[in-house]
Amino acid sequence: MTVIEIIDAFTFYGLDVILLAAATAVAVQLCKVTFLKRLNKKIVTFLPFTLGTLFYAAYAAGKNLSLAYLVTEYVSVLEHGVAVGAAATLLYVLYEQFVREKKQGLSAAEGVIATLIEGYVPAKSAERVAKLIAEAIEKDLTGGGAERVAKLIAENANADVSERDVELLAKLVIEAVAHLNGARA
Protein backbone atom coordinates (compact mmCIF):
# COMPACT_ATOMS: atom_id res chain seq x y z
CA MET A 1 0.00 0.00 0.00
CA THR A 2 1.32 3.42 -0.89
CA VAL A 3 1.08 6.48 1.31
CA ILE A 4 -1.58 7.92 -0.99
CA GLU A 5 -3.73 4.77 -0.61
CA ILE A 6 -3.40 4.94 3.20
CA ILE A 7 -4.38 8.61 3.26
CA ASP A 8 -7.25 7.86 0.87
CA ALA A 9 -8.49 5.09 3.17
CA PHE A 10 -8.54 7.40 6.18
CA THR A 11 -10.22 10.12 4.12
CA PHE A 12 -12.91 7.64 3.07
CA TYR A 13 -13.53 6.34 6.60
CA GLY A 14 -13.13 9.66 8.41
CA LEU A 15 -11.84 10.98 11.70
CA ASP A 16 -14.51 9.10 13.63
CA VAL A 17 -12.83 5.81 12.74
CA ILE A 18 -9.46 7.07 14.03
CA LEU A 19 -10.97 8.31 17.29
CA LEU A 20 -12.87 5.06 17.77
CA ALA A 21 -9.66 3.15 16.95
CA ALA A 22 -7.83 5.00 19.73
CA ALA A 23 -10.65 4.17 22.15
CA THR A 24 -10.60 0.57 20.97
CA ALA A 25 -6.83 0.28 21.41
CA VAL A 26 -7.12 1.60 24.98
CA ALA A 27 -10.04 -0.72 25.75
CA VAL A 28 -8.18 -3.74 24.36
CA GLN A 29 -5.11 -2.97 26.48
CA LEU A 30 -7.26 -2.56 29.59
CA CYS A 31 -8.91 -5.91 28.85
CA LYS A 32 -5.52 -7.56 28.33
CA VAL A 33 -4.08 -6.38 31.64
CA THR A 34 -7.20 -7.02 33.70
CA PHE A 35 -9.49 -9.93 32.99
CA LEU A 36 -7.99 -11.40 29.80
CA LYS A 37 -4.49 -12.11 31.13
CA ARG A 38 -4.82 -15.87 30.90
CA LEU A 39 -6.75 -15.99 27.62
CA ASN A 40 -5.11 -17.62 24.62
CA LYS A 41 -3.16 -15.03 22.59
CA LYS A 42 -4.76 -16.27 19.37
CA ILE A 43 -8.19 -15.32 20.68
CA VAL A 44 -6.98 -11.92 21.91
CA THR A 45 -5.79 -11.20 18.36
CA PHE A 46 -9.41 -10.79 17.26
CA LEU A 47 -10.37 -8.56 20.18
CA PRO A 48 -9.59 -5.20 18.45
CA PHE A 49 -11.79 -6.16 15.50
CA THR A 50 -14.64 -7.35 17.71
CA LEU A 51 -14.53 -4.32 19.99
CA GLY A 52 -14.01 -2.02 17.00
CA THR A 53 -17.15 -3.36 15.36
CA LEU A 54 -19.13 -3.05 18.59
CA PHE A 55 -17.86 0.50 19.18
CA TYR A 56 -18.65 1.53 15.62
CA ALA A 57 -22.12 -0.04 15.82
CA ALA A 58 -22.84 1.93 19.01
CA TYR A 59 -21.46 5.08 17.41
CA ALA A 60 -23.51 4.59 14.21
CA ALA A 61 -26.70 3.89 16.17
CA GLY A 62 -26.14 7.01 18.26
CA LYS A 63 -25.22 9.18 15.30
CA ASN A 64 -28.32 8.12 13.33
CA LEU A 65 -30.54 7.92 16.43
CA SER A 66 -31.81 4.56 15.25
CA LEU A 67 -31.06 0.91 15.88
CA ALA A 68 -32.74 0.17 12.55
CA TYR A 69 -29.72 1.79 10.87
CA LEU A 70 -27.58 -1.11 12.10
CA VAL A 71 -29.85 -3.59 10.34
CA THR A 72 -30.33 -1.69 7.10
CA GLU A 73 -26.68 -0.65 6.77
CA TYR A 74 -25.05 -3.69 8.37
CA VAL A 75 -22.45 -4.01 5.59
CA SER A 76 -21.25 -0.45 6.12
CA VAL A 77 -21.25 -0.93 9.91
CA LEU A 78 -19.19 -4.12 9.61
CA GLU A 79 -16.81 -2.53 7.12
CA HIS A 80 -16.22 0.50 9.32
CA GLY A 81 -16.01 -1.68 12.43
CA VAL A 82 -13.25 -3.80 10.90
CA ALA A 83 -11.52 -0.58 9.80
CA VAL A 84 -11.67 0.60 13.43
CA GLY A 85 -10.11 -2.70 14.54
CA ALA A 86 -7.38 -2.49 11.92
CA ALA A 87 -6.59 1.10 12.83
CA ALA A 88 -6.56 0.15 16.54
CA THR A 89 -4.07 -2.62 15.79
CA LEU A 90 -1.93 -0.16 13.81
CA LEU A 91 -2.02 2.37 16.66
CA TYR A 92 -1.00 -0.34 19.13
CA VAL A 93 1.93 -1.42 16.97
CA LEU A 94 3.08 2.18 16.57
CA TYR A 95 2.83 2.68 20.33
CA GLU A 96 4.83 -0.49 21.06
CA GLN A 97 7.55 0.33 18.54
CA PHE A 98 8.05 4.05 19.07
CA VAL A 99 6.51 5.25 22.32
CA ARG A 100 6.58 2.59 25.01
CA GLU A 101 9.82 2.27 26.91
CA LYS A 102 11.29 -1.19 26.92
CA LYS A 103 12.26 -2.78 30.22
CA GLN A 104 15.75 -1.64 31.00
CA GLY A 105 18.22 -3.22 33.31
CA LEU A 106 17.57 -6.88 32.51
CA SER A 107 20.41 -9.04 31.31
CA ALA A 108 19.81 -11.50 28.49
CA ALA A 109 19.31 -14.35 30.98
CA GLU A 110 16.97 -12.26 33.14
CA GLY A 111 14.96 -11.29 30.06
CA VAL A 112 14.57 -14.93 29.04
CA ILE A 113 13.60 -15.90 32.58
CA ALA A 114 11.10 -13.03 32.83
CA THR A 115 9.49 -14.17 29.59
CA LEU A 116 9.29 -17.79 30.74
CA ILE A 117 7.76 -17.02 34.14
CA GLU A 118 5.28 -14.54 32.70
CA GLY A 119 1.80 -15.72 33.61
CA TYR A 120 3.07 -17.89 36.45
CA VAL A 121 4.08 -15.05 38.77
CA PRO A 122 2.29 -11.71 39.16
CA ALA A 123 3.29 -9.27 36.43
CA LYS A 124 4.39 -6.64 38.94
CA SER A 125 6.99 -8.96 40.47
CA ALA A 126 8.15 -10.87 37.35
CA GLU A 127 11.23 -8.71 36.80
CA ARG A 128 12.31 -8.96 40.45
CA VAL A 129 11.76 -12.74 40.51
CA ALA A 130 13.67 -13.11 37.22
CA LYS A 131 16.64 -11.29 38.74
CA LEU A 132 16.51 -13.49 41.85
CA ILE A 133 16.37 -16.65 39.74
CA ALA A 134 19.25 -15.52 37.51
CA GLU A 135 21.30 -14.74 40.60
CA ALA A 136 20.51 -18.14 42.13
CA ILE A 137 21.51 -19.94 38.93
CA GLU A 138 24.70 -17.92 38.63
CA LYS A 139 25.73 -18.67 42.24
CA ASP A 140 24.84 -22.36 41.99
CA LEU A 141 27.94 -24.52 42.29
CA THR A 142 26.25 -27.68 43.56
CA GLY A 143 24.05 -28.49 40.59
CA GLY A 144 20.88 -27.99 42.65
CA GLY A 145 19.77 -25.01 40.64
CA ALA A 146 16.44 -26.51 39.60
CA GLU A 147 15.37 -26.96 43.23
CA ARG A 148 16.44 -23.42 44.12
CA VAL A 149 14.63 -22.03 41.05
CA ALA A 150 11.53 -24.10 41.86
CA LYS A 151 11.55 -22.72 45.42
CA LEU A 152 11.76 -19.12 44.16
CA ILE A 153 8.97 -19.68 41.65
CA ALA A 154 6.76 -21.43 44.23
CA GLU A 155 7.24 -18.59 46.73
CA ASN A 156 6.18 -16.00 44.17
CA ALA A 157 3.74 -17.93 41.96
CA ASN A 158 0.09 -17.13 41.39
CA ALA A 159 -2.31 -19.16 43.52
CA ASP A 160 -3.51 -21.31 40.60
CA VAL A 161 -0.05 -22.65 39.66
CA SER A 162 0.40 -26.30 40.58
CA GLU A 163 3.53 -27.91 42.06
CA ARG A 164 4.01 -29.85 38.84
CA ASP A 165 3.89 -26.61 36.83
CA VAL A 166 6.48 -25.08 39.15
CA GLU A 167 8.75 -28.12 38.80
CA LEU A 168 8.50 -28.16 34.99
CA LEU A 169 8.94 -24.40 34.73
CA ALA A 170 12.05 -24.55 36.92
CA LYS A 171 13.57 -27.20 34.68
CA LEU A 172 12.67 -25.18 31.59
CA VAL A 173 14.30 -22.07 33.06
CA ILE A 174 17.48 -23.99 33.91
CA GLU A 175 17.67 -25.49 30.40
CA ALA A 176 16.98 -22.16 28.68
CA VAL A 177 19.64 -20.34 30.69
CA ALA A 178 22.12 -23.20 30.15
CA HIS A 179 21.56 -22.99 26.38
CA LEU A 180 21.83 -19.22 26.50
CA ASN A 181 25.11 -19.41 28.41
CA GLY A 182 26.35 -22.16 26.10
CA ALA A 183 25.60 -20.02 23.07
CA ARG A 184 27.63 -17.15 24.53
CA ALA A 185 30.61 -19.32 25.44
Q: How confident is the model at residue 105 (pLDDT cuts 50, 70, 90)?
A: low
- Mean pLDDT confidence for 77-89: 90
- Does the global pTM surpass 0.75? no
pLDDT at 101: 64
- Mean pLDDT confidence for 75-88: 90
Dump strand ranges (E) for the chain. none
- pLDDT tens-place string over residues 10-22: 667 778 888 999 9
pLDDT at 148: 85
Question: Of 108, 54, 22, which Cα lies nearest the Cα of 62?
Answer: 54
Q: How many CB atoms lie within 10 A of CB 6?
A: 11
